[in-house]
Amino acid sequence: MANRCQVNTFIRTSGAFDAVFDFDAAVADPARPGPLGPDLSPQTVGGASCDPAIAAPVRALGSGRPSPVGRRTSVRTWPLVTSHCRAHAYGSRNAYAASSVPVVAELSQVTRTTPDTTKRHASARGQFTLRHGDDAAPVTLGVVGEHHLTNALAAAALALSAGVGFATVTEGLNGASLVSGSRMEVTERPDGVTVINDAFNASPESVDAALRSLATIAAATRPTVAVLGEMRELGTTAPALHARIGRRVADLGIDTPITVGGHHAELMATAARDAGSAQVTHVETKDQVLALLTEGLRGRDVVLIKGANSAALFETAAALATGH
């Protein structure tokens, strides 16, 4: 997390780029301490500030005037600052509905409770209608997780502002897929068990997003298991943030939470129990997780594996995905 903050600071202040689209700052609500609301989404008020955040650098680059950072290069470099200082970027419908950015997404329903509508809904893949000027086209993302809706909007805003054709943008969004493993990687086993491998890394926001995707895929009709390793690089806020995730597990009604690691993992387990989760298990190693689940999983179970990269829970997820 510290390294991501340093990269963001460099992008914002170095003067090395023609323009910077700072979505992280744009969705922040200046009236509140920090951009994230109780549901870990950008504040509604913050969404309304996206327009000036994008408009100034776009106008400068498009008009040939000096860019906001006061320099020009023959090859334009347009970095995009998201909320990666805190987590994988994602947000709420309200934040972007309130925005007057030229790129407007009218989000279709991401089904949370009806698994039979279509497979893509039950798999937590987002759908929305992308609108830009007089153009509109449906988009179905190939990646799992509602939090990718705003990732897609950010990519579309940047591409359209840079002059990429609308048809090319929508084709790219519809064709987007995972480029690396262990990032919301979903495997349907022959025995009916669904394994969600999101163990590449973990932060409070990305864990929350993964848990919501788990609940969406299970759609209140399938048993849910959440294997949660510790989150790293949280500093003095680590105890409180782990406890918050534990409470979130209970709020979402996850049936079988399993926490993995040391003191902070125990804090997650305790918070989940205190908030009403009845079947919480804490173990110290990933090998214990594999032993628990190899025999314990049944058809129709949906299992999420999530944790810091250093916890190496992606190895556990890979073993569970193959059933070995």
Render 187-231 in DSSP notation, one character per residue.
EE-TTS-EEEE-TT---HHHHHHHHHHHHHHHTTTS-EEEEEEPP
The structure tokens 């989404």 sit at 41
Query: At CA 213, angle to CA 309 and CA 144, rounded to 5?
Result: 75
The predicted-structure confidence for 247-289, as pLDDT tens digits, reads as follows 999 999 999 999 999 999 999 999 999 999 999 999 999 999 9
pLDDT at 213: 92
- The per-residue b/e assignment along 141-154, b for 16 or more CB within 10 angstroms, e otherwise, is bebbbbbbbbbbbb
Quote the crossing angle between the two packed helices 166-175 and 148-161, to the nearest 10°. 150
Predicted structure pTM score: 0.68
- Kind and range of the H or E run holding 269: helix 263-274
The predicted-structure confidence for 115-140, as pLDDT tens digits, reads as follows 223 333 456 777 878 888 888 888 88
pLDDT at 148: 80
Closest CA to 245 of 213, 218, 210: 210
